[in-house]
Homo-oligomer: A and B are copies of this chain.
Amino acid sequence: MTVRIGVIGTGAIGRDHARRINQVLGGATVVALSDVNRASAEAVKSDIAPDAAIFTTGEELISSPDVDAVLVTSWGATHEQYVLAAIAAGKPCFCEKPLATTADGAKRIVDAEVAHGKRLVQVGFMRRYDAGYVALKQFVDTKIGAPIMVHAAHRNPAVPEQYVTPMAIHDTMIHEIDVLRWLLDDDYISARVLFPRSAARSHAKLRDPQIVILETAKGTIIDVEIFVNCHYGYDIQCEVVGEDGVATLPEPMAIQTRLGAKLQNDILTDWKDRFIASYDVELQDFINAAAKGTAAGPNSWDGYVAAITSDACVAAQEAEGGAVAINLPTRSALYN
């Protein structure tokens, strides 16, 4: 069967996912589009999905009998309502980050999905699908002994002035929050944030860089350098130290040259290039599960935990290096 997909929100990421579904991936086709800016939906129809119907509201799209599964790629503040509507309709739903803009909102989605009794939601944490992280997880699980420490860095060349201190958590660190929890198969119990002096290239309302330290239930300590004005490139580092040894996330594939007295590789500068391949894998996973009426990959619980952890990290930004506890409710068996 071909999964008939409706896309709610046809901005950059929605358009790109539509392209993936219709031109790159197998097993699905875009049959419906919706956007608050109707012209945007019409452009995607014209360029990518000529057979798609355009709906005025996301809710109408979700309830259409021609739609088997839903992509929520609209503005973050609207995610919760569309995901809840998809659950109510019993339709598989892929939701870009964040699952909801508050932990409470994420909790409502978890509760609705648990009440429904079957997984329907996949959250767009694409790093879990990156070949490097997948290989790293295999090594962490089998080669280096039980993990004890993780040293990570998330570096970005520059950010605009609207990017303020808490966004380093909500927009940037959010990826490490999810992927490291998955990598370690563990839960966080506390967060600390340490601030060195801010970089000269930072802005008045942004303390940058910062070092976020997470402790897990199993006693692993994670330090993550978040540096969004690092200037030199977009660079994701992750090293896991276990009982027997260390495993390191690979650098992206790059040609090594010998030129002008330098032995060198290019470093990426645009975050969109870093995990580009994992978007394909992530969405194919969604399609394959949706064809069976369910969802795979990062789930609502993961989205909820990410929200709780983010909130703790932001609180820790104000705690002068003190630890902020992270208390999670009991996990429903649906997410085991």
Contact = CB atoms under 8 A, between A and B. Distances in A.
Interface residues of A, number: 75
A140 B91 CA distance: 50
A333 interface: no
Max chain B Cβ within 10 angstroms of own Cβ: one of A131, A143, A149, A284: A149
A76 interface: no
B241 A259 contact: no
A315 to B, nearest CB: 16
A148 B209 contact: yes
B262 A199 contact: no
Given A24-B26, A254-B250, A321-B192, A149 B241 contact: no
A335 interface: no
A75 to B, nearest CB: 28
Interface stretch (A112-120, A121-129, A222-230, A306-314): A222-230
Contact of A250 (B136, B249, B256): B256
A323 interface: yes
Given A225-B151, A246-B232, A263-B264, A143 B24 contact: no
Contacts of A213: 194
Interface in A227-261: 227, 230-233, 235, 241, 243-251, 253-261
A231 B173 CA distance: 31
Contacts of A223: 151, 211, 223
Given A231-B243, A248-B256, A250-B253, A265 B267 contact: no
A199 B149 CA distance: 10
Contacts of A254: 135, 250, 263
A99 B260 CA distance: 35
Contacts of A135: 253-255
A225 B257 contact: no
B258 A235 contact: yes
A196 interface: yes
A148 B23 CA distance: 40
A245 B221 contact: no
Nearest to A260: B232
Given A148-B199, A250-B253, A259 B245 contact: yes
Contacts of A256: 247-248, 250
Nearest to A265: B263
A205 interface: no
Contacts of A215: 194, 196
A158 interface: no
Given A148-B196, A232-B260, A249-B255, 14 more contacts: A24-B284, A135-B255, A143-B259, A148-B199, A196-B219, A196-B220, A200-B243, A232-B245, A245-B258, A245-B260, A253-B253, A262-B266, A321-B323, A322-B322
23 contacts: A24-B284, A146-B200, A148-B209, A149-B209, A225-B241, A230-B246, A231-B244, A232-B244, A232-B245, A232-B258, A232-B260, A232-B262, A233-B261, A244-B259, A245-B259, A247-B257, A250-B253, A253-B253, A261-B266, A261-B268, A263-B264, A321-B322, A321-B323
3 interchain residue pairs of minimum CB distance: A197-B219, A245-B259, A264-B264
